[in-house]
Amino acid sequence: MDSFASWSSRPVSDLQAQLYGHLAECRHQESTEALLQRFQSLFIEGNRYGDEEIWAALLELIYQPEAEREFKYTLNRCSYTLVNPWYTQPRDHWAIPALVDLFDQIPATTTDTEDATWRIRQLSQNFTTTEQFASLRRLAALFEPTTDEAEAVNFEDQSVAQQLRHYPFLHDSSLLVTKDSDREQKDRAHNLRQQSEAQLGIKLARYWAQCRLGTGGSFPNPTRLPDDELRQALEYYTGKVEGNRSHRDIAKMFETYRQTVRSFREFKEEFLEYLLAPLTNADSRYHNNTFTRSLRQFVRETMREFDDQCPKDFTIVTFCRRLLNFLVIHSRKEPIFRRFRQLLNDVGSSVTMGVLLRVVLFCATVKPWLENRMAILFNHHEPTRCGEAPWLIEALEHTNVALITNFNNVGYSF
């Protein structure tokens, strides 16, 4: 846990190592409250620090020519030097949001502020605008104290960012958005996800069994969807949708067919029909409307250089990733999601998710890519009030249900 070598592939200077080692040593000797005060004194207040050697190392770091670009990595690692062990101790979970909240308390500077203090506060303030800090704040949100009752009462006034704990499929992409995330951070995000998915999977399975048996309501609805909508979604994602076949059955059949096609061009044409079936079944306009025509054009023009070749795994994975970009959102730099909104408006969340589900059931390798697209959508709307984006919350709820019921590993059958 204290190994500096575990922090990504970015080189660690002697000055950085001094800071990390100092905080790690203090962590073994001091209370959590004292560590927060120490962190505040060093990076938030920026006043002269009690340990002269550490203060000198910090000053040398902040005045390096590359400090504007590089200090965010130092501050991020200093934060996680404390956060990582707090995560493993439930009694210290409160300290994670407490540390993040310190960055909201950076004092204003005046003409009388010492140059070193001004510089530290400026760099700490700059840190709050980085992806590193955004990831840290999302982690802190998972440990904010709350109750189900309070969440229900204030839900519409809460920000989208506060909902991360409800959607474990977002954890990997939302908590690990920077290249300097280390192995421990990745393991932590994965563990948080597994725990949340297992809990939700068990609750959903019990609720669904109760619905099918027609027994009393001893197991409550574990989602924000109305009971009728959740029952319909569970039936749609796990039951028969075409004849006596489920989405999973149809995906397996298409995978068998894929092994017989002679060219990538032929594969794409058949994949179009496989993908459009949920849409045309739900709305006859999707046999030949603007969306369908643009989708056909996109599919036919995508990776045309491979059209005469037999479809290989690499080709199909790349194609499915680009297709998810088209259907959900292009990228963090180009957050275009009008087609996704169109589908939600026209055919609803279940059918829209049914289309996306067909992609990842056929090519499970791109499931993380779908989760990443949804995370980009989530991150793009983080400051928005939930009451102002009901379509997004509904889409996230349906994504939760669709993925848990089709890719669960909790021992309960849907």
Domain C-terminal end among 113, 145, 177: 145
Please tell me the distance from the alpha carbon of residue 343 to that of residue 353, in angstroms, as a whole number. Answer: 9
* Residue 29 sits in the same domain as residue 138: yes
* Residue 50 sits in the same domain as residue 134: yes
Domain C-terminal end among 108, 123, 145: 145
Bridge partners, residue 259, by sequence = none
- Give, for all 414 residues of the chain, the pLDDT tens digit: 333 333 444 455 889 999 999 999 999 999 999 999 999 999 999 988 889 999 999 999 999 999 999 999 999 999 999 999 998 899 999 999 999 999 999 998 887 789 999 999 999 999 999 999 999 999 998 998 765 555 666 889 999 999 999 999 999 888 876 666 667 777 777 888 888 999 999 999 999 988 888 776 789 999 999 999 999 999 999 999 988 999 999 999 999 999 899 999 999 999 999 999 999 999 999 999 999 999 999 999 999 999 999 999 999 999 999 999 999 999 989 899 999 999 999 999 999 999 999 999 999 999 999 999 999 999 999 999 999 999 999 999 999 999 999 997 765 667
Provide the residue range defining the domain that includes 356: 192-407
pLDDT at 7: 40
* Residue 66 sits in the same domain as residue 200: no
In a domain, 186, yes or no: no
pLDDT at 411: 57
Please tell me the distance from the alpha carbon of residue 262 to that of residue 268, in angstroms, as a whole number. Answer: 11
Nearest C-alpha neighbor of 164 from the set 155, 154, 175: 175
Q: Terminal CA-to-CA distance of the chain, rounded, Å? A: 39
* Residue 41 sits in the same domain as residue 129: yes
The model's pTM is 0.87
pLDDT at 153: 61
pLDDT at 12: 59
How many structural domains are present in the chain? 2
* Residue 31 sits in the same domain as residue 141: yes
In a domain, 161, yes or no: no
| Angstrom distances, CA of residue 52 to CA of 49, 322, 408 | 7, 54, 53
In a domain, 18, yes or no: yes
In a domain, 364, yes or no: yes
Residues 39, 99: contact at Cβ < 8 Å?
A: yes
* Residue 110 sits in the same domain as residue 210: no
pLDDT at 304: 96
64 HSE (CA, 13 A, CB side) = 17
In a domain, 164, yes or no: no
Q: At what angle do helices 227-238 and 183-213 cross, to 10 degrees?
A: 100
Helix (H, G, I), strand (E, B) or coil at 15: helix
Domain C-terminal end among 145, 160, 183: 145
Q: At what angle do helices 338-362 and 367-380 cross, to 10 degrees?
A: 160
CB atoms within 10 A of CB 164: 25
* Residue 141 sits in the same domain as residue 196: no
Residues 129, 103: contact at Cβ < 8 Å?
A: no
* Residue 263 sits in the same domain as residue 395: yes
Please tell me the distance from the alpha carbon of residue 368 to that of residue 173, in angstroms, as a whole number. Answer: 9
* Residue 139 sits in the same domain as residue 196: no
Q: Residue 131: CB partners within 8 Å, gap ≥ 6?
A: 177, 178
Radius of gyration of the chain (CA): 25
| Angstrom distances, CA of residue 138 to CA of 100, 143, 186, 300, 392 | 10, 9, 14, 39, 18
pLDDT at 8: 43
* Residue 74 sits in the same domain as residue 203: no
pLDDT at 111: 79
* Residue 123 sits in the same domain as residue 37: yes
pLDDT at 92: 95
Bridge partners, residue 385, by sequence = 159
Q: Quickly tell me which residue has 């068990």 as its tokens.
A: 202
Please tell me the distance from the alpha carbon of residue 217 to that of residue 210, in angstroms, as a whole number. Answer: 7
Sign of CA dihedral 379, 103, 189, 238: negative
Find the angle CA(304)-CA(309)-CA(315) to the nearest 5 degrees: 65
Find the angle CA(301)-CA(302)-CA(304) to the nearest 5 degrees: 70
In a domain, 175, yes or no: no
* Residue 238 sits in the same domain as residue 372: yes
Say how many residues make up the chain: 414
In a domain, 172, yes or no: no
Q: Residue 315: CB partners within 8 Å, gap ≥ 6?
A: 264, 303, 306, 309
pLDDT at 177: 60
In a domain, 412, yes or no: no
pLDDT at 1: 34
| Angstrom distances, CA of residue 315 to CA of 305, 319, 321, 359 | 11, 6, 10, 14
